[in-house]
């Protein structure tokens, strides 16, 4: 089916998901929307997050997408159930359940979760993980600005990472969910700090795998064709283009579309 996959996020973090989907499903068209004019979602009410998400879904449906990836932990935990209830003719994929599924398959004793303060305080991962394993969670608020400023492999970034991850190391986590779509950009330093005995669960990778399996099941996967990629943002602040290119690992054209 030659229809695109729609992906949206409150900003640019979901580009890590787009990057993995492009890598995993190289023949699929992609339409990405980042709500950079209204980011962050984490400080807003559930009702506002849901309203913003519906506006973006309507935009993506206007682009004739065949599937929508909610590449935002805040929107996944607050708006996804209502989206699925209101838009029954299109499948949705959030970022939480694919990551949880992978973590449950890897863990032996303790599962760690790191994310933004809003995601950790929502309790979504505890709810979905259940009580099979001990769960240790930690908010890492400085990770997002570090990534967006390009401080990926600096001594300062490592020092912050060691500080955040120390409580998880003390609890001997053996699987760690990177519960924010920015965090895959820091996967190397996180893995280096924790050591190879800790399995990292990259939400971007797991979502891309899940999307591929879903398209296979529904018989809508594209094969052997040249794809097109479109990237829309509700605002284009200074340096956005550079950040987009860094997240995607390629240069792309971006376009402004404000939905409010």
Which residues are the active-site residues? 72, 180
Query: What's phi and psi for 30, nearest 5 deg?
Result: -125, 135
Q: Which residues of 132-151 are buried (b: 16+ CB within 10 A; e: fewer)?
A: ebebbbbbbeebbebbbeeb
Instruction: Using the Cα atoms of residue 143, residue 145, residue 151 and residue 157 in order, give the sign of their dihedral.
Output: negative
Residue from 135, 138, 131 nearest 110 by CA: 135
DSSP H helices in 198-252: 203-218, 240-248
Beta carbons within 8 Å of 222's beta carbon, 6+ residues apart = 1, 2, 25, 27, 28, 29
Cα distance between residue 207 and residue 202, in whole Å: 9
Cis bond before residue 40 (omega within 30° of 0): yes
Answer for the pair 78, 50: CB distance below 8 angstroms, yes or no: yes
- Residue 184: alpha-carbon gap to chain centroid: 9
Taking the CA of residue 164 as centre, how many other CA atoms within 13 Å lie in the half-sphere pointing to its CB?
A: 26
- Bridge partners, residue 84, by sequence: none
Query: For the chain, what is the radius of gyration of the CA atoms?
Result: 17
């Amino acid at each position: 089916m030659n229809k695109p996959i729609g992906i949206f996020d409150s900003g640019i973090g979901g580009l890590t998901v787009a990057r993995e989907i492009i890598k995993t499903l190289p023949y699929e068209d992609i339409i990405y929307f980042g709500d950079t004019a209204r980011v962050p979602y984490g400080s807003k009410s559930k009702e506002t997050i849901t309203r913003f998400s519906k506006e973006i879904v309507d935009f993506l449906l206007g682009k004739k997408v065949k599937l929508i990836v909610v590449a935002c932990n805040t929107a996944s935990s607050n708006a996804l159930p209502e989206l699925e209830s209101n838009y029954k003719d299109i499948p949705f994929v959030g970022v939480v359940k694919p990551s949880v599924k992978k973590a449950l398959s890897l863990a032996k004793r303790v599962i760690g979760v790191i994310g933004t303060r809003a995601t950790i305080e929502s309790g979504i991962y505890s709810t979905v993980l259940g009580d099979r394993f001990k769960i240790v969670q930690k908010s890492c608020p400085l990770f997002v600005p570090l990534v967006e400023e390009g401080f990926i492999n600096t001594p300062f970034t490592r020092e912050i990472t060691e500080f955040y991850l120390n409580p998880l190391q003390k609890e001997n986590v053996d699987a760690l969910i990177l519960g924010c779509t920015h965090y895959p950009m820091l996967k190397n330093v996180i893995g280096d700090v924790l050591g190879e005995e800790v399995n990292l669960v990259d939400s971007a990778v797991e979502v891309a795998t899940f999307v591929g399996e879903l398209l296979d099941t529904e018989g809508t996967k594209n094969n052997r064709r040249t794809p097109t990629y479109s990237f829309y943002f509700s605002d284009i602040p200074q340096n956005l283009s550079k950040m987009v290119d860094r997240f995607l690992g390629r240069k792309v054209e971006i376009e402004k579309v404000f939905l409010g």
